[in-house]
């Protein structure tokens, strides 16, 4: 059974850093494309980043240069390193396997 | 950047009646491999998104056959043949060609 479990969210001050993790089971992360998608409170879905099986990565303009997507094949885990966080980064962050399987999300709140 | 628009943004429906949501992209979603990467998602209140349809018209496993997707190029439609109470939620289209963009969402509720 495919499972995705996001962790690492929390309250962080503006300008701070946070690393989100997405532990996968039931499939191999490196064999699929994996995405991060976020949803600000009461708002719609916003694609954040993707890493393809070959290692190529892409980012939304809103996070480019501040966020980094990566994976650890030995841990079968996806990551999102978030630096220079802003209030507008406040959202529930979901990881998804090829957009067909989604985790439950982890809340990131950027506030002083 | 590809911009996705949806209409309507709010859709009150009567149980048992059909419903239709339109999605348009600012450029063609036909990829170089010949596929059109247009997906539809449902998000029920308090839940994670769930993909219903991929590549325009293919239903995901476990999705009731009252849901159907159609369209081509830049114009796409999600149809629910007979709305049930469990269909309440927000529906998003998403293009997966350039690389990804979601539409603003259509809120479906019961009249």
Q: What is the mean pLDDT of residues B45-71?
A: 98
User: Tell me, what's the pLDDT at B6?
Assistant: 98
For B87, other C-beta atoms within 10 Å of its C-beta total: 20
Q: How far apart are CA B70 and CA B56, in angstroms?
A: 6
**Which of the residues B1, B100, B107 would you substitute to probe the A interface, choosing the one with the greatest number of A C-beta atoms within 10 Å?**
B100
Q: Tell me the per-residue pLDDT of B76-98, one tens digit each, with 9 for 90 and over.
A: 999 999 999 999 999 999 999 88
Residue A9 has pLDDT above 90, yes or no: yes
CA A84 to chain B, closest CA, distance in angstroms equals 23
Q: Tell me the per-residue pLDDT of B30-48, one tens digit each, with 9 for 90 and over.
A: 999 999 999 999 999 999 9
**Which of the residues A34, A41, A45 would you substitute to probe the B interface, choosing the one with the greatest number of B C-beta atoms within 10 Å?**
A45
* Structure confidence at residue A79 as a pLDDT band (50, 70, 90): very high
For A36, other C-beta atoms within 10 Å of its C-beta total: 27
E-assigned strands of B67-105? Answer: 67-72, 75-80, 89-95, 101-102
* Structure confidence at residue A103 as a pLDDT band (50, 70, 90): very high
CA A98 to chain B, closest CA, distance in angstroms equals 10
Cβ within 8 Å, pair A44-B94? no
User: Tell me, what's the pLDDT at B98?
Assistant: 82
Contacts of B102 in chain A (CB under 8 A): 37, 44-47
Do B43 and B89 meet the contact criterion of CB atoms below 8 Å apart?
yes
Q: Tell me the per-residue pLDDT of A19-60, one tens digit each, with 9 for 90 and over.
A: 999 999 999 999 999 999 999 999 999 999 999 999 999 999
Cβ within 8 Å, pair A100-B60? yes
- Asked if A77 has any chain B CB less than 8 Å from its own CB, the reply is no
**What size, in residues, is chain B?**
111
Q: What is the mean pLDDT of residues A76-97?
A: 98
Contacts of B105 in chain A (CB under 8 A): 44-45
User: Tell me, what's the pLDDT at A48?
Assistant: 98
* Structure confidence at residue B99 as a pLDDT band (50, 70, 90): confident
């Amino acid at each position: 059974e495919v499972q995705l479990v996001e962790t690492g969210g929390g309250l962080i001050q503006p300008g701070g850093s946070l690393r989100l993790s997405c532990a996968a089971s039931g499939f191999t992360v490196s064999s699929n494309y994996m995405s991060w998608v976020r949803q600000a409170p009461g708002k719609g879905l916003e694609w954040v980043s993707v890493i393809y099986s070959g290692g190529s990565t892409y980012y939304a303009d809103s996070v480019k240069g501040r966020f980094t997507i990566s994976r650890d094949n030995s841990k079968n885990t996806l990551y999102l390193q978030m630096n220079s966080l802003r209030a507008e980064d406040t959202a529930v962050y979901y990881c998804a396997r090829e957009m067909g399987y989604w985790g439950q999300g982890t809340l990131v709140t950027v506030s002083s | 950047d590809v911009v996705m628009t949806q209409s309507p943004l709010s859709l009150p429906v009567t149980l048992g009646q059909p419903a239709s949501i339109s999605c348009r992209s600012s450029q063609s979603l036909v990829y170089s491999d010949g596929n059109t990467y247009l997906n539809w998602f449902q998000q029920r209140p308090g839940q994670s998104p769930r993909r219903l349809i991929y590549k325009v018209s293919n239903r995901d496993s476990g999705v009731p056959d009252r849901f159907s997707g159609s369209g081509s190029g830049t114009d796409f439609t999600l149809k629910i043949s007979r709305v049930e109470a469990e269909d309440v939620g927000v529906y998003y289209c998403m293009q997966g060609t350039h690389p990804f963009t979601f539409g603003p969402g259509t809120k479906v509720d019961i009249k």
